[in-house]
Amino acid sequence: MRVAVGGSLMWRQRKYTVLFIERDSATLRDDEGVEVEVAVDELGGSATPVPSDTSGLLHLSLQVADIEPGMDPWLQACIRIEAARDEVGVGKAVETERGWLEKRLGKPVSTRRVERRLKVFREQGTITAGKRAPRKSTWDPRLIEAINFVLEGKSRSSTVSQTTAIEQITRRIERLHGDSVKLPSRSTFFRLLEADDRGQFTFGSAKTRESLALQPAGKFGTRTALRPGELVEMDSTRIDVMLRIDEKTVGRPELTILLDVATRSILAAMLRPEGTKSVDLVAVLARALVPYGRRMEGVRETRQLISTAWADDQLIDQERFERLRLAQPYVFPDTITTDRGRNYVSRHFRAACETLQISLITSAPHTPTDKPHVERAFGAINSMLLQHVKGYVGRSVEHRGRDADTDSAELLTIAQAQELIEDWIAVEWQNRSHDGLRDPLHPRIKLSPNEMCRAFRAYVPELHVPLTRDDYIALLPVQYRVLNRYGVRIDHRIYNSERLKGLWRRKSDDKARNGRWPIRVDPYNLHVVWFEQDGEFIPLRWSNQVHELPLLGDVWRYARAEHVTRDDALEAERRELAIAIKAFAGRGNPALRNGKPTQSARMRARAAAIADDPMNLTSVKSIEGDEPAAMAGELSGDGALVDEWPNTGGFPFIGDALDDVRRRVDE
């Protein structure tokens, strides 16, 4: 604004006229004639222009040439009606524009409505044409206060109907204000509840409502990481997929991930069959601190052994997965943000982080927004991968279908799911454009986590040194075992080494462990465990190499499928027969009574029938006859027996012997 002598301005909410302007000051006069001298710097910082009178502009007519494509349809129609009233008349112009408005808006438009809008256009001008002033609420503020109070109190309570909420609001108003507050009708009450509850889910899902209530009251802020590893978030959640934990157990395991905020890279991920313990968190941390290419012996062999199920079936070379695994960036976490779970605040996990010089930040209680990136990453993993997995059951019972395969023989094992998730992270997550990695100046450009990490490495160079072999093994969980002659047994697998030769069948000096020896175990490394002795970790390899022999992998895969689909009725019959065999073997033959065996009539009849059966190998039946030919019967001319078979012994269905057996049994 430029004001000369004689001009007007607003200063301190009053109107002044400029009388004189000097080098450093100006003399002003208000409407009452009072003069004041003010410094020029003061006016330049606090003076404002006098509001202009634009009422005359409202009646300036617009031409058809002023219509723009994005202009309001009602405003366009009013301009064309005013332009055509001298040529065709107002009535015909209104009808023409009414038809155009019906096509443009896609709904019926009455002539009366067009005339009302035209009247507003003529009276108020172009600013408010086609618009209706919003209605102001006329309800008693005490009614609105009661509605807000009742709705806010239901953030953590069970979901009730709107009718129940209306009754609670009515009782509160009557208790506090009596009959002085006018209550709306039932339908209006419903509209007020919907307007006040918008986005709070008071009458929807209780879980969603509580989650929204945990959000901070203020506006959301952002924490920007200036380099990889500066801010890392860690969390665990139970996945929505049923997996086969072992041969008989099916369940939903817990997934723990470590996410770098600067690059959105998933540094490590691990599945555990039950609740994640502090030793499991340390194992996740160890996997993040050692890149795939520098992990211990047996890791690649285990991955290739398990991933043959989806790689070889599609004729995909394992080296393609290996190449993407090796391309994952290595990021050392300086600070890790976790929740206040017992496993995260445990002494074991905190001691491991302190040893590695990693700072821990615990989020506020019941505040998931303190680590939003890892929470959102779980949702992305669920929608992008887990929903495609056999056995997906949805996030709750109401989202679970009737045909959900919760106990199918085709469910993945937890070891398969672990390698599948790690392969998916290396293949898709790390190379897929992420919404959180948009260019601030060119927001259409999205980077992948791998691309973002390479960009940081180019301009923020850092030297990240991974853990050594012994440091990694020292972070693994410990199991105590006896050193047998054949080695050690862990999860029904035998591990052995030539370096254990002098320690077989010996006990350790640890009396608290009953002489057992410490063995370091990686839960997802099937081939190697480590025996700890005098600060050295001796690798013990899996003794069973059957899976490496030709065709035996397919044989065992078929055998596993047969084992899972085993017939329960056949198994019950097998147990019943085995019990009968063992019962007789333990009971033995009947004891002698007075020097004679005690036998019932039925047992004597059975023994006699067996003795008379010539087909029984234990039969003692003697066939009298001097000549061998008489024993076999006389031959006919064609070589056939005249008496084809003696009708005696056993339980024949014809002959007199059957009656004799029945008589003996009845005795």
Write the single-letter amino acid at 472.
Y
DSSP-derived secondary structure for 422-488:
HHHHHHTGGGS--GGGB-SSSTT-B--HHHHHHHHHHHS----PPPPHHHHHHTS-EEEE--BTTBE
At 192-203, the pLDDT tens digits run 888 888 778 888
| Triad 364, 369, 373: Cα angle to 5° | 125
At 402-445, the pLDDT tens digits run 777 677 778 888 888 999 999 999 999 999 999 989 988 888 99
- pLDDT for 316: 81
Strands 528-533 and 35-39: unpaired
Q: Where are the domains of the chain?
A: 8-52, 56-124, 141-213, 232-459, 477-544, 552-587, 598-666
Which string of b and e fits 550-586 if b means at least 16 CB within 10 Å? eeebeeeeeeeeeeeeeeeeeeeeeeeeeeeeeeeee
- pLDDT for 225: 85
Candidates 505, 241, 588, 587; CA nearest to 387 is 241
The DSSP bridge partners found for residue 90 are: none
- pLDDT for 87: 83
**Positions of the chain with pLDDT lower than 50, given as ranges:** 54-60, 127, 129-130, 622-633, 635-637, 639-645, 647-654
Candidates 300, 263, 223; CA nearest to 464 is 263
- pLDDT for 291: 86
Question: Mean of the per-residue pLDDT values for the chain?
Answer: 80
- pLDDT for 236: 93
- pLDDT for 426: 92
CATH 3.30.420.10 fits 232-459, yes or no: yes
- pLDDT for 12: 82
- pLDDT for 667: 60
- pLDDT for 632: 45
